[in-house]
């Protein structure tokens, strides 16, 4: 039994006492205890690949803040790593791959992988976190979207303009579709394995869908997320497993995102959540959407912005409070205290 | 008399024979002749501040390509430079300021400036370019939006997350509004001086409005652009002076952008131009919107994308073809030839 099921109830648009809240990247570098565990692990990939350490950093933010959900600590690039692309992290430069995808042959030569065995360190972490949480709050599993994973595999890491990935898309669309099919199959298996290991909701992070044209987004990102959502396990342990689809910078496409069949749409901060609710709030829950940069402002300014977002959403069910993107490393942890308290305190009147 | 007035006609939604086309940053580093002139100038600011050199690089792309408009070569940060902020360019790092705006006192201490005298090098360039163009195509003047200029003045240069500018906005909103008022007054004078010197249309570049929440965009960027549009010279030399407002990543706010009173809305590549036309195309012209990254793809792929955008817009008046953002330095100049030819050739059937 869950002691706090606000998060799952809100995702299913059921009544709650206060608006549930969690933060993307809540287990992260803004927390000194995270930095200590990462130092202990030696490097970032060891942290991800050691279930005990992944469990520890997953739980750290919950010891400080009354978040209504935990999210598995992992990296979005575990699947390309399992495909043998040689993921590594160079200090200050983010993720890198030793092998790159640049031709149709590179795509064809990707090995057949068994996600369950290659990524057992992830499912082991999920099981362990569930045990340690002991029903305090639900656990969220996640994956990057096929398009987002593909951009890293083609670019070889992060990118400013995604020039190489876009060139691949426009010059070799068939090879791109084959890559995305392989990734979509792996993401489906990966999320289902997380659900079977105990994840009680899952989120697909389409971090880079929002750099595409509308037409390319539909065929190269959204279509693959739709195929994944259709194949996910619908119920586990007697509960529905809600799916959250988050396309950063996807505010123009909310109606199409709903059409994937997801239970909730993640919103970045650019969207007005009240307008989003008018557009799609009768069919799905909404998750979001405070600009993470506002956490650098004063606690008073944070509280004011939380109030504005709650007021824009208005009374009723179906809101999970979150940031519009991940929290950044330089934020003062005390500002997160103010943020979470403001959500719980200021939202109560909207649920009476 | 203009030999080619397609661009101005399209902005006023009058009939044309083919869809006019120009490119943001068409006078730029992708052209070897630009790089040669810049080298000759010694540094970037000298290039901007020497009317003969600014005129030369403005005209260079028109010698290669049948563009339907010229755009004044200048930098968007001339106004902060005129305010005494000490603009300079460090190789590979973009623009920097020696003085920063960080407090209300910094804003209050900004000097009263006469744009006409401080920025006479710009109006001299406009007059010279008009003379040299000799009526071949119209000349576009431009300015950065107040919000966009403010971000550079506060951050001290380019930024990835605009953390300092946003912190200033949320913690010191009154000081931010005072800064934006001062900038809006200067932008108004600046654009009117360009019009009086011969600019036949003007564009406001709101490059960074699209990183704000909807509410902050409305009050900290759009409101100031609206006040500028209202005060611009409406007619000069017996012609209407169309105003183009371009907010990058502003696709969710097209209706509000129209409400500034502009004659045309610039679209980035994320928006579908047909959907934009359905939303706002009865009241303004649309400018855009090919993803500049597609210029890295093959000429065949470029032609296909041009065709898709023309088809999405459909038949009728009010389309100026452009990229969704500036052309980037590594593009092959031959691909621009293919791009411009595709626009002129493939658009003819839509205007018969």
Residue B16: DSSP 8-state: -
A38 is catalytic: yes
Residue B244 to chain A, least CA–CA distance (Å): 21
What residues of B are in contact with residue A328 (Cβ under 8 Å)? Answer: 161, 163
How far is B219 from B215, CA to CA, in rounded Å? Answer: 7
Ranges of each domain in chain B: 1-24+286-352, 27-64+69-266
pLDDT at position B178 is: 98
What residues of A are in contact with residue B170 (Cβ under 8 Å)? Answer: 294, 297-298, 301, 305
Residues B204/B71, Cβ–Cβ less than 8 Å: no
- Local confidence band at A90 (pLDDT 50, 70, 90 cut-offs): confident
For residue B267, what is the nearest residue in chain A, using CA coordinates?
A213
Region A32-55 average pLDDT: 96
Helix-, strand-, coil-residue percentages of chain A, each rounded to 5:
50, 10, 35
**CA atoms A344, A142, A97, A105: torsion sign:** negative
Question: Measured between alpha carbons, how far apart are the two ends of chain B, in Å?
Answer: 25
Residue A283 to chain B, least CA–CA distance (Å): 21
Q: Is B326 on the interface with A (CB under 8 A)?
A: no
Region A331-344 average pLDDT: 98
Is the confidence at residue A91, as pLDDT, over 80? no
Is the confidence at residue A180, as pLDDT, over 90? yes
Per-residue pLDDT of B210-239, as tens digits, reads 999 999 999 999 999 999 999 999 999 999
Q: Is A308 on the interface with B (CB under 8 A)?
A: yes
- Local confidence band at B92 (pLDDT 50, 70, 90 cut-offs): confident
Is the confidence at residue B145, as pLDDT, over 90? yes
Percentage of chain B lying above the pLDDT 70 cut? 100
Q: Could you tell me how far CA B77 lies from the centroid of its own chain? A: 12
Percentage of chain A lying above the pLDDT 90 cut? 96
Mean pLDDT of chain A: 97
Is the confidence at residue B93, as pLDDT, over 90? no
Whether this model's pTM surpasses 0.90: yes
Percentage of chain B lying above the pLDDT 90 cut? 96
Is the confidence at residue A327, as pLDDT, over 90? yes
Q: What angle, 0 to 180 degrees and rounded to 10, lies between the N-to-C axes of helices B223-231 and B146-155?
A: 130
Interface confidence (ipTM) of the complex = 0.95
A29 is catalytic: yes
CB contact under 8 A, A170 and B210: no
Q: What are the structure tokens assigned to A159, written together?
A: 């990118």
pLDDT at position B90 is: 84
CATH class of B27-64+69-266: alpha beta
Residues B271/B278, Cβ–Cβ less than 8 Å: no
How far is A182 from B207, CA to CA, in rounded Å? Answer: 37
Is the confidence at residue B345, as pLDDT, over 80? yes
What residues of A are in contact with residue B301 (Cβ under 8 Å)? Answer: 170-171
Domain A30-64+69-266 fold: TIM Barrel (3.20.20)
Is the confidence at residue A242, as pLDDT, over 90? yes
Out of A246-260, B14-28, B88-102, which region has the weakest mean confidence (pLDDT)?
Answer: B88-102
Active site residues of B: 25, 29, 38, 75, 152
CB contact under 8 A, A270 and B252: yes
Residue whose entry in the numeric block shows the structure tokens 């004078």: B189
- Local confidence band at A104 (pLDDT 50, 70, 90 cut-offs): very high
Q: What are the structure tokens assigned to A312, written together?
A: 């824009």
> What does DSSP say about strands A285-287 and A319-320: parallel, antiparallel, or unpaired?
parallel
pLDDT at position B91 is: 78
- Strand partners for B243: B202
Per-residue pLDDT of B309-323, as tens digits, reads 999 999 999 999 999
pLDDT at position B341 is: 98
How far is B89 from B47, CA to CA, in rounded Å? Answer: 12
Question: Which of the residues B151, B169, B270 would you substitute to probe the A interface, choosing the one with the greatest number of A C-beta atoms within 10 Å?
Answer: B270
Residue whose entry in the numeric block shows the structure tokens 């993921």: A87
Out of A88-92, A238-242, B160-164, B204-208, which region has the weakest mean confidence (pLDDT)?
Answer: A88-92
One-character DSSP codes across B19-50: --B--TT-SSTTSHHHHHHHHHHSSHHHHHH-
pLDDT at position A116 is: 82
Q: How many CB atoms lie within 10 A of CB A247?
A: 30
- Local confidence band at A92 (pLDDT 50, 70, 90 cut-offs): confident
What residues of B are in contact with residue A288 (Cβ under 8 Å)? Answer: none
Residues B82/B119, Cβ–Cβ less than 8 Å: yes
Residue of B249, B301, B330 with shortest CB distance to A170: B301
Residue B215 to chain A, least CA–CA distance (Å): 8
Q: What are the structure tokens assigned to B111, written together?
A: 């000097």
HSE, side-chain direction, 13 A CA sphere, residue A352: 6
- Local confidence band at B209 (pLDDT 50, 70, 90 cut-offs): very high
Is the confidence at residue A27, as pLDDT, over 90? yes
Per-residue pLDDT of B61-84, as tens digits, reads 999 999 999 999 999 999 999 999
Q: Is B256 on the interface with A (CB under 8 A)?
A: no
Residue B90, helix vs strand vs coil: strand
pLDDT at position B176 is: 98
- Local confidence band at B305 (pLDDT 50, 70, 90 cut-offs): very high
How far is B296 from A171, CA to CA, in rounded Å? Answer: 9
Angle at Cα B240 formed by Cα B238 and Cα B243, nearest 5°? 150
Mean pLDDT of chain B: 97
Q: Could you tell me how far CA B161 lies from the centroid of its own chain? A: 22
Residues B288/B318, Cβ–Cβ less than 8 Å: no
Residue A161: DSSP 8-state: S
pLDDT at position A274 is: 98
């Amino acid at each position: 039994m869950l002691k706090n099921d606000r998060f799952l109830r809100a995702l299913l648009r059921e009544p709650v006492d206060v608006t549930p809240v969690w933060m993307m990247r809540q287990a992260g570098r803004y927390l000194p205890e995270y930095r200590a565990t990462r130092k202990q692990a030696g490097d970032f990939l060891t942290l991800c690949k050691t279930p005990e350490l992944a469990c520890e950093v997953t739980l750290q933010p919950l010891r400080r803040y009354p978040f209504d959900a935990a999210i598995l600590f992992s990296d979005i690039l575990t699947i390309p790593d399992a495909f043998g692309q040689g993921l590594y992290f160079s200090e200050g430069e983010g993720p890198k791959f030793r092998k790159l995808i640049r031709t149709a042959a590179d795509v064809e030569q990707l090995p057949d992988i068994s996600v369950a065995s290659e990524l057992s360190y992830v499912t082991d972490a999920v099981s362990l976190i569930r045990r340690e949480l002991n029903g305090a709050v639900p656990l969220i599993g996640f994956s990057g979207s096929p398009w987002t994973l593909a951009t890293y595999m083609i670019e070889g890491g992060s990118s400013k303009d995604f020039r190489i990935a876009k060139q691949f898309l426009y010059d070799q669309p068939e090879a791109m579709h084959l890559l995305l099919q392989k990734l979509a199959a792996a993401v489906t298996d990966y999320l289902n394995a997380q659900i079977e290991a105990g994840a009680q909701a899952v989120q697909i992070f389409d971090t880079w869908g929002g750099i595409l044209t509308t037409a390319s987004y539909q065929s190269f990102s959204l279509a693959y997320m739709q195929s994944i959502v259709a194949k996910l396990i619908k119920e586990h342990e007697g509960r529905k497993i809600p799916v959250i689809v988050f396309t950063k910078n996807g505010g123009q496409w909310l109606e199409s995102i709903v059409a994937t069949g997801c239970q909730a749409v993640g919103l970045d901060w650019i969207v007005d959540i009240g307008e989003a609710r008018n557009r799609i709030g009768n069919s799905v829950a909404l998750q979001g959407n405070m600009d993470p940069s506002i956490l650098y402002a004063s606690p008073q300014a944070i509280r004011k912005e939380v109030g504005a977002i709650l007021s824009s959403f208005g009374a009723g069910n179906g809101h999970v409070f979150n940031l519009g993107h991940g929290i950044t490393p330089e934020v003062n942890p005390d500002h997160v205290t103010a943020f979470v308290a403001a959500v719980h305190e200021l939202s109560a009147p909207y649920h009476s």
